[in-house]
Amino acid sequence: MLTKLNLALLEETFDRYLAFWHTDPLTYDSLDMAVNPIALELAYRNYLLWHEEDKARRTDVDDSAIATVKRAIDKLNQQRNDLIEKLDEAILTELARTIPEPATEEINSETPGSIVDRISIMSLKIYHMDEDSQRTDIDSDHRQRSLQRLAVLRLQRSDLYGALGKLLDDYLAGTKRMKLYKQFKMYNDPALNPELYRSRQQG
């Protein structure tokens, strides 16, 4: 799993898929998968989520349309969180199979799956900031501001990429212990969200 995550190609592959999805948004599996398929599925959910979030900011549509979008966002966010955990579970399974139990109790506050999630979101920001910088309806100040932000985003993604590689190296060397962290999103659970279970009881 660590090798299949393929850090050497992660950024490049995310960028390639994002360009493809923006051209053919309904197709997920038409390209050869160069990195872990869970990571790519996570990136695809973030791609869908990004554009639903754009729709949610519209003020020229009926509130019922925004409510539909908000429900789609909620569903995609749950899928995104599930995929982060799924990726972490797969990585931890391989670690347990391939390296001895680490003696240290030192952990990282962020898991590999959550870093991959942030890299995929940063890739979306880079794609759209680059797109914005090429618009024909903006002035030079706007374009320069977008280009400056684009440079910062690329640096931030590079930093995340380096942090992920260092974290995986630490796991393999046994200098950090990997743990799974479950998010247990209560608002999506009809048995735990009081607004849902009370309305169901009343109904």
pLDDT at 9 over 60: yes
- pLDDT, tens digit, for every residue of 10-67? 888 889 889 989 987 656 555 556 678 899 999 999 999 999 998 998 888 998 889 9
The pLDDT of residue 198 is 76
Please give the residue that has the higher pLDDT: either 137 or 198.
137
Report the share of the chain in percent with pLDDT over 90: 61
Tell me how crowded residue 195 is: count the other CB atoms within 10 A of its CB: 9
Q: Decide if 34 contacts 6 (C-beta within 8 A).
A: yes
The pLDDT of residue 53 is 93
Q: What tokens were used for 80?
A: 């995104």
pTM, two decimals, is 0.87
Report the share of the chain in percent with pLDDT over 70: 90
Best CA proximity match to 117, nearest among 77, 73, 175, 176: 77
Sign of the CA dihedral with 168 first, then 174, 175, and 176 last: positive
Alpha carbons 158 and 116: distance in angstroms, whole number = 12
pLDDT band of 127, cuts 50, 70, 90: very high
Please give the residue that has the higher pLDDT: either 194 or 87.
87
- Concatenated DSSP letters of 131-143: HHHT-SSS-HHHH
| Mean pLDDT confidence for 103-116 | 94
- pLDDT, tens digit, for every residue of 167-177? 999 999 999 99
- pLDDT, tens digit, for every residue of 138-161? 999 999 999 999 999 999 999 999
Best CA proximity match to 122, nearest among 198, 20, 46, 17: 46
Best CA proximity match to 34, nearest among 24, 22, 20, 46: 20
Mean pLDDT for the chain? 88
* Sequence letter at residue 19: A
Of 14-18, 90-94, 186-190, the one with minimum mean pLDDT is: 186-190
- Concatenated DSSP letters of 59-83: SSS-HHHHHHHHHHHHHHHHHHHHH
Count how many residues are written for the chain.
203
